[in-house]
Amino acid sequence: MSPPVKPVAPNSTMSKGLSLIAPSCHARCREPAGRRARPTTMHLRTTITGIVALTSLAAAAGVGYAIGQDSDPTGTAPPPRIALANADLTTTGSCDALLQSYVDRGVEQVGAYGWVGDMRIFSSQEGDVSMPLSSSAAGVERSMPSTSRTTSDESGTNVQEAGVDEADVVKVAGSLLLRMRDGELLAHDVSGAAPRLLSTTTIADSRTTNQPLDPGGELLLVGGRAVVFGSTDTGTTITTVDLSDPSSPSIVDVTRVSGRATAARLTGDVVRVVVQTDLPQLDFSSPSGALGELRSRLHNRSLVRATTLADWLPTIEGQPAVDCDDVAVPTDTDLALGTTTVLALDPASPSLRTATAVATDSDTAYFSTDRFYLAAGQPAWWGPWSECIDCGTGSPQEPSGTTPIFAFALDGMEASYVASGEVEGTIADRWSMDAVGGSLRIAVGPSATTGTSNSVITLREDGSALVEEGRVDDLGVGEVIQSVRWFDDLAIVVTFRQTDPLYAIDLTNAAAPVLLGELKIPGYSDYLHPLGEHRLIGLGQDATSDGLVQGAQAALFDVTDLTDPRQIDVVRYDPGTWAGAGSDPRQFTWLPDQRVALAVVNGSTAKGMTGWVSVLSLADGRMSNRMVEVEHGEDVYDVRLVPLSSGRVALVTGSDVSFLAL
């Protein structure tokens, strides 16, 4: 979960798109070339219970819980730190009542074959479009939104939100470059003529599951310490490494959390981890004989009624990660069942942690510098196969109606619940959300209540409610959102079915957003990146007039006049190739001083899976391209191009660190 860098503008964010109605594709997998783009904007994947370790939400809406601290010496239990402001979230008052709430909802979601409806609409990963434009467009009598130049985060990672770093396989601080490879943390000195290996530290349980959103095998770097995330069969391992002496690192803490991490963020000195855990794995039966389905259903429901809180809540080192009084339960019992937990830690004192939990499942968690937004999950039912969790046939029905959203304020290690609301439509992923100036902006796709079009909606906090401010509808009717890029006062949205409409939306007045202009061209861009005041690059797929994708392409757009955006150049790659940034924006780097864009392009050759670096030099509104073959096999997904303070670029492949000749 580490994407491209966002514009330098405060709170500008980028947003990534995805194709829908198909198992989510992580950076380590890719949809076969030549397949038609699917007509939806969300990913479906088999998710069971969700647990989000949200580091900073301890003061959260009454769901905060301090871990690893001494108990009250007076023996008097402190009151819950959850001050729920409205009826959308509530606490149950006791552990028995909390367990009963899980059981009641669980009984409704189990059938003759076990858990049903556990294919959830989830937000995918990277894809991007984000930038503000500052010059006025010709012929428009108003101050136009603007795009600004973007650079990578100081850690070398292309991120969604300025000021919010994301876990990656590579991090850099000055002349020190760290990278994870096969369970080892490697420290390199990149100040000399060639990178020099300083040390190798084995990190137990630091591998990845290769599942969507899994940050296993990735790290964050803060204050001379690396925080490494790993995935195991039973959960997530968080290892803190002291790098005071990079030639001799030392492991200072190992924390094991039940559940699978789906995101890791760094704001200031606070690390936040988003983790998912499964619904209880029970010994469900299947129908057989007369009255088989009825008997099996009754048996399976009896197993759910026999569960304990240990089956539903996360643990840290085998101990409860959150107190019963600190779990907020949605009053809407139709929300996806699960537990979203916020775990915050300070790498300088890793034993000091805070946690917050909401009793719902969600893959869609968006972080700004001062807010955390959780979009609650919805079950997506698979028609007549809805009770068969292993069936590979059938099409998911359109998600019903609205998506609830919970907002939390972040302050150091603490987090507090501030508001909740809902939007009509589906939220494809975290890239579809952005917050700036007290306004939450969301790009939503179709649902049962919205028809077949897409919308951009703005919301604001009004007391304890998130209320709609304004909206723009009818974007790409019958098409799928492929990418979104946000700026302080601008959104650029790309949809696709047969052609690629690109929409420019003015958000200067959040209460009255305006569609300024649109551009329709073949193919689509599933990653967008601003290249200064008037240029935007889009990485995606070339396509025929009937929507059949051909191979990767890089398109250069002139957005000087937002009422009339234009494609001014395009580089087409070989058939069957794809741009890595479409599924992982960390595989794109923009070097503004050199006016060079670096993009990883992957494809199949006689050598097998092959990865190239496309070196795109921009001059006079044109792109010249040079291809450098750099990697083969599954390692193509871990290729990174890291800008260094020296002005050079570190090329990180599966087995090597070198300098890329520009």
The pLDDT of residue 498: 61
Cβ within 8 Å of residue 356, ≥6 positions away: 54, 57, 58, 59, 60, 61, 63, 64, 65, 322, 326, 328, 341, 342, 408, 415
- Rounded CA-CA distance 451/425 in Å is 9
- For Cα atoms 320, 324, 328, give the angle at the middle one, nearest 5 degrees: 115
Instruction: Decide: 343 and 413 in contact? Cβ < 8 Å.
Output: no
- Rounded CA-CA distance 628/303 in Å is 57
- Residues in a beta bridge with 454: 475
Q: Where are the domains of the chain?
A: 44-121+268-358+376-389, 164-256
- Rounded CA-CA distance 416/85 in Å is 10
- Rounded CA-CA distance 274/37 in Å is 30
The SS3 assignment for 633 reads helix
In the sheet with 657-659, reading across from the earlier edge strand, the strands are 640-643, 649-652, 657-659
The pLDDT of residue 211: 60
Regions of the chain where pLDDT drops below 50:
1-85, 118-144, 146-151, 380-398
**How many of the other CB atoms lie within 10 Å of CB of 478?**
13
Give residue 114's Cα distance to chain centre. 29
The CA-atom distances, in angstroms, between 399 and each of 180, 253, 318, 510, 582 are 38, 42, 36, 27, 25
The pLDDT of residue 213: 63
**How many of the other CB atoms lie within 10 Å of CB of 87?**
11
Kind of pairing between the strands at 640-643 and 349-358: unpaired
- Rounded CA-CA distance 368/435 in Å is 7
Q: Where are the alpha helices (H) located in 249-360, listed in sequence order?
A: 292-305
- For Cα atoms 158, 164, 170, give the angle at the middle one, nearest 5 degrees: 45
pLDDT tens string 524-567: 898 999 998 889 999 999 988 777 888 999 999 999 999 999 99
- Residues in a beta bridge with 500: 521
